Amino acid sequence: MNAKRAQEIAASPVMANVTYNGERIYIEQVDEENGTAIIHPLNERNNKQKVSVSSLQEN
């Protein structure tokens, strides 16, 4: 995924099916300049991670 698409998903009120390492995640914030995103697994709201948007998959 690219940073622009990740930002679109993060800003959308509609929940997109996005995975990181095979696990469904929620995109909290995107840093388009650095190509990173703050994410968390759907069932672990407090387990935030900063990852490369290129490692995210839209299903």
Contact 27, 37 (CB under 8 A): yes
Q: How many Å apart are CA 27 and CA 53, to the nearest integer? A: 10
Mind listing the pLDDT tens digit of every residue in the chain (59 residues)?
Answer: 999 999 999 999 998 999 999 999 999 999 999 999 999 999 999 999 999 999 999 99
| Predicted local confidence at residue 9, as pLDDT | 96
**In the chain, how many domains are there?**
1
Domain with 33 in it: 3-58
Contact 10, 56 (CB under 8 A): no
| Predicted local confidence at residue 4, as pLDDT | 96
